[in-house]
Amino acid sequence: MAVAKLRDSTGFETGFPMSDIQVLERQIRDAIAGAADEAALESVRVSALGKKGAVSELLKTLGSMTPDERREKGALFNALRDRVAEAIAARKTVLEKEVLDARLAFERVDVTLPPRPQAAGTVHPVSQVLDEVTAIFADLGFAVAEGPDVEYDDYNFTKLNIPPDHPARQMHDTFYVAKQADGSRHVLRTHTSPVQVRTMLKQSPPIRIISPGRAYRVDSDATHSPMFHQFEGLVIDEVTHLGHLKWVLEEFCKAFFEVDAVEMRARPSFFPFTEPSVEWDLRCDRSGGQIKFGQGNDWLELAGSGMVHPRVLENCGIDPARYQGYAFGGGIDRLAMLKYAIPDIRSFFESDLRWLRHYGFAALDVPTLDGGLSG
């Protein structure tokens, strides 16, 4: 039989007489074993089993054979093709595993390594205290409510029983925003109390919310900043009274100042939106240059509060014959100054990095009641 000896690019010879089949198979197997990666293996496959591959060329020679010869060699050639295909598949599995192993080794993370010793940023004491206050009231069953910094005059004042000519408006030293098309003026909210209004307008009782946020007044000295932070609390239900209010504030103080007991003193006061109105002081000891709570002979102003004025309930669509409630509000910055011994409120807002490094909190120390409030 005349045999045309062909060589393809990888050097496999095709068109072998029968006796050379084992040689061809060994060559192919050597090439498969020598393929260092999947691309090399693929070119081995093409040169063996591709359209013009060595094995394919061999199969093509069957066409010119006699039926007997074809039966005999056909079986041999096909068996060769199957073995080669199998060997390629096996090598492919090995190579894939090698790639995966290499990648796993490369991307390996040693979880036992210690974390970086120090994060670059710190949490501002105001953010810290906002989170602390929120965590404490959330534990007492209060939901968090929010409102915008730019507020309707109506919500900031009128609905809270402070009509346009009311002298309390002067006390608030309001920042006014440019007149609206309808002649009304928005304000930078002077307190967080308008969130009470917003909540009552969209939610029916029972209501139990806390609303920490920013407030603004034209004022600036060591204890006043034109932008400052307050928290507002509101509870509306069928049976509420001053005793509930006192208990809630006491629980708050104990948790916030991290002491077992506090003593509170009530002083009669006036706020247009509450009747009666009460201001609360906390017994403290300032001797020794440090404040301690629950002992001593000094008193510290804590919060304004009172039973929600029936007119405020009415203004917000709540029936004062059926519902009553209490509200309270206090300064977040002041709480932060007290708890963390920060003397000047203005330093909070100067963005002095040295100050932030000194007074800031670690970024991952989220305050919780069971994990610890202030780390």
Smallest gap from Cβ 303 to ligand DAH, in A, equals 7
Region label for 68, one of left (φ > 0), alpha (ψ between -120 and 50) or beta (otherwise):
alpha
Number of residues that bind ligand DAH (CB under 6 A): 11
272 binds ligand DAH (CB under 6 A): no
Smallest gap from Cβ 217 to ligand DAH, in A, equals 9
Q: How far is Cα 239 from Cα 243, in angstroms, rounded to an integer?
A: 11
Stretch binding ligand DAH (CB under 6 A), from 33-41, 281-289, 322-330, 364-372:
322-330
Instruction: Report whether 195 contacts 145 (CB < 8 A).
Output: yes
333 binds ligand DAH (CB under 6 A): no
Q: Which of 305, 334, 337, 367 binds ligand DAH (CB under 6 A)?
A: 305
Task: Give 331's contacts (C-beta < 8 A, 6+ positions apart).
Answer: 228, 229, 230
Q: Please name which of 146, 124, 137 lies closest in space to residue 362, comparing C-alpha atoms.
A: 124
Q: Which of residues 159-198 bind ligand DAH (CB under 6 A)?
A: 191, 193
From residue 5, give the alpha-carbon distance in Å to each of 10, 19, 30, 51, 66: 14, 14, 20, 17, 21
Q: How far is Cα 263 from Cα 272, in angstroms, rounded to an integer?
A: 27
Stretch binding ligand DAH (CB under 6 A), from 82-90, 101-109, 236-244, 321-329:
321-329
Q: How far is Cα 375 from Cα 365, in angstroms, rounded to an integer?
A: 6
Look at the block and give the residue holding tokens 């404040």: 291
Q: Which of 147, 212, 272, 304 binds ligand DAH (CB under 6 A)?
A: 304
Q: Does the bond joining 276 to the residue before it have cis omega, within 30 degrees of 0?
A: yes
Task: Give 46's contacts (C-beta < 8 A, 6+ positions apart).
Answer: 53
Task: Give the number of other Cβ atoms within 10 Å of residue 250's Cβ.
Answer: 16
Looking at the Cβ atoms of 73 and 246, the one nearer to ligand DAH is 246
Q: Which of 147, 213, 306, 367 binds ligand DAH (CB under 6 A)?
A: 306
DSSP string, 171-196: HT-PPEEEEPTTS-EEEE-SSSTHHH
In this chain, which residue has its C-beta nearest to ligand DAH? Answer: 329
53 binds ligand DAH (CB under 6 A): no
Q: Which of 132, 151, 232, 333 binds ligand DAH (CB under 6 A)?
A: 232
Smallest gap from Cβ 147 to ligand DAH, in A, equals 13
256 binds ligand DAH (CB under 6 A): no
Looking at the Cβ atoms of 331 and 367, the one nearer to ligand DAH is 331
Looking at the Cβ atoms of 256 and 328, the one nearer to ligand DAH is 328
Smallest gap from Cβ 317 to ligand DAH, in A, equals 19
271 binds ligand DAH (CB under 6 A): yes
Q: Dihedrals φ, ψ of 27, to 5°?
A: -60, -45
Query: Most distant CA pair in the chain: distance in Å?
Result: 121
Looking at the Cβ atoms of 278 and 356, the one nearer to ligand DAH is 278
Stretch binding ligand DAH (CB under 6 A), from 33-41, 254-262, 289-297, 326-334:
326-334
What residues line the site for ligand DAH (CB under 6 A)? 191, 193, 232, 271, 274, 304-306, 327-329
